[in-house]
Amino acid sequence: MNLVSSSSSRAHNFVSFDGSERAQGKLEIPESAAYFQKDQFTAPQISRGAGLSYAAASFGKNICSVDHARLNKIVDFNEEELWIEVEAGISLGRIYDFLIEKKLFLATQPGHPRISVGGCIAADIHGKNQFLDGTFMNQVQSLNLFHPEHGILELSPKKNEDLFRLTCGGYGLSGNILSCRLKLKRIPSSMAEVQLKPLDTIEQLPERLKISAAASDFVLSWHDFTLKGKDFGRGFIQEGRFIAGDSVLAASKKAAEQSLDAESRGNLPIKVFNPLTIKMMNLLYGSRCGKSGSIFKMSLFDSIFPIQNSKELYFKFFGASGFHEFQAVLPEETFLEYMNGIRNYLLKHPVSITLASSKLFAGKQDLLRFSANGICFALNFERNSESPKFLAFLDKLLLECRGIPNIIKDSRLSKEIVSQAYPEYELFRSALRDFDPKRIYKSELSERLAL
């Protein structure tokens, strides 16, 4: 109710979405913008959006997490100039619900509608169209950042440019992102056409991804890594295109009503995934695409947010022990070396891969931004006693292939790996200290990576 204190706080037991990291910290949920006052904070803190990051980016031991969930308003909108200004706690689903009736769209979106805009900026996330529209930073025209010693600063590609680059993809370590102005894109309807094109071998992937990207609005691939021999990595490329059409189907869903969270993800009393069920799941999913491919229409909502409704079960099936995601961008010239390395490892040391998927990436890599030219490849598998060995192998292979790992998706990446993979690791670290010598903003992620 109103007229009570502008925020409330309590001790809270946090868990990362992948189930690996647990820590007790403090959780504060401000109701009012008045919460962010200059010179008010000295204790370690970090902003928190939906708490869906696989890695522990929004909490840490004895760190105060500032939850932006109630600071989630649309504060300005210009349909002609194609921009929207929002508070950082707003979810992508809430924005989607508002924009879709106007046939407008945020060009870059990750896979779940509960993810907050502040989280998208802090992790500089990518969508299925990174090759076309870049990362989330490319959609941000400006943002307001709060830091207790600097007050509220306006950042944009032209104003406080260095701090803008540090904050977009800065994992929340430069301050609290309060609000931002985002670019919008016109779309013909709330429908998409998705075409699945079979891919017989993993070797075909780099070339086929480029061909598909040239004819699509968004592209990803899916592969069966439970197959062996010449069939290893067989799958399909999913081409997506915005189309004109009936929007009734899309309007049947309210994006903001999705419910996935890190706490409930591990709630299933039994673990559903085992080598047999993973094999069956891959077989079933692979059968979606016939030998000659298939085309179907779907709501744009379902195509951009595949991880919702029944697909939320996918994450629950890992059970309380959780899962790993190893996502990396590989230069095209080393991609097959990377794939062969994985194939050979799996032959000797079987690991049941629940998901193998790729996207085409294009763009400059700087600071700790997960962006580069090449192929972004993700692997999901169970967290168990064998997985650390596989991850250590992947770390080594990644460095040999000159790839970069996705920091926000991997909760056990070490400082050694990140500092070797990201050439501007030290630059990021020193830029952060120049702006915030006291290093007020911290998380488990920042402590682990010695940021």
**Contact set with other proteins (CB under 8 A):** 1-11, 27, 29, 31-34, 70, 73-77, 87, 98
For residue 77, list its beta bridge partners. 84
Closest to other proteins by CB, 31 or 332: 31
For residue 196, list its beta bridge partners. 238, 294
Q: 118 in helix, strand or coil?
A: helix
CB burial of 308-317 (b: ≥16 within 10 Å; e: otherwise) equals beeebebbbb
- 312 phi, psi to nearest 5 deg: -65, -30
- C-alpha–C-alpha distance, residues 240 and 218, integer Å: 5
- 126 phi, psi to nearest 5 deg: -125, 165
Q: 346 in helix, strand or coil?
A: helix
- Burial (CB < 10 A; 0-12, 13-18, 19+), residue 158, is exposed
Residue recorded with tokens 């629950």: 316
Closest to other proteins by CB, 256 or 378: 256
Closest to other proteins by CB, 81 or 348: 81
Q: How far is the CB of 69 from other proteins (least distance, A)?
A: 11
Closest to other proteins by CB, 1 or 284: 1
Q: How far is the CB of 45 from other proteins (least distance, A)?
A: 17
Q: How far is the CB of 72 from other proteins (least distance, A)?
A: 9
Closest to other proteins by CB, 6 or 24: 6
Q: How far is the CB of 70 from other proteins (least distance, A)?
A: 7
For residue 140, list its beta bridge partners. 182
Q: Name the DSSP class of 411.
A: T
Residue recorded with tokens 């996918």: 314
**Greatest distance between any 2 Cα atoms in the chain:** 67
The candidate with the shortest Cα–Cα distance to 27, out of 43, 42, 47, is 47
Q: What's the CA dihedral at 142, 91, 378, 391 to 10 degrees?
A: 100
- C-alpha–C-alpha distance, residues 141 and 156, integer Å: 6
Q: How far is the CB of 114 from other proteins (least distance, A)?
A: 15
Closest to other proteins by CB, 5 or 309: 5
Q: How far is the CB of 13 from other proteins (least distance, A)?
A: 13
Q: How far is the CB of 216 from other proteins (least distance, A)?
A: 32
- 314 phi, psi to nearest 5 deg: -50, -45
Q: How far is the CB of 99 from other proteins (least distance, A)?
A: 11
Q: How far is the CB of 37 from other proteins (least distance, A)?
A: 12
Closest to other proteins by CB, 9 or 373: 9
Closest to other proteins by CB, 143 or 237: 143
Closest to other proteins by CB, 85 or 444: 85
Q: How far is the CB of 267 from other proteins (least distance, A)?
A: 17
Closest to other proteins by CB, 27 or 394: 27
DSSP string, 13-60: EEE-TTS--EEEEEEE--SSGGG--TT---S-EEEESSS--SS--S--
Closest to other proteins by CB, 1 or 276: 1
Closest to other proteins by CB, 182 or 278: 182
The candidate with the shortest Cα–Cα distance to 448, out of 168, 26, 61, 47, is 61
Q: How far is the CB of 365 from other proteins (least distance, A)?
A: 36
- C-alpha–C-alpha distance, residues 449 and 442, integer Å: 11
- Burial (CB < 10 A; 0-12, 13-18, 19+), residue 80, is exposed
How far are the Cα atoms of 144, 374, 442 from residue 59, in angstroms, in the given order?
Answer: 22, 31, 8
Q: How far is the CB of 4 from other proteins (least distance, A)?
A: 5
Q: 123 in helix, strand or coil?
A: coil
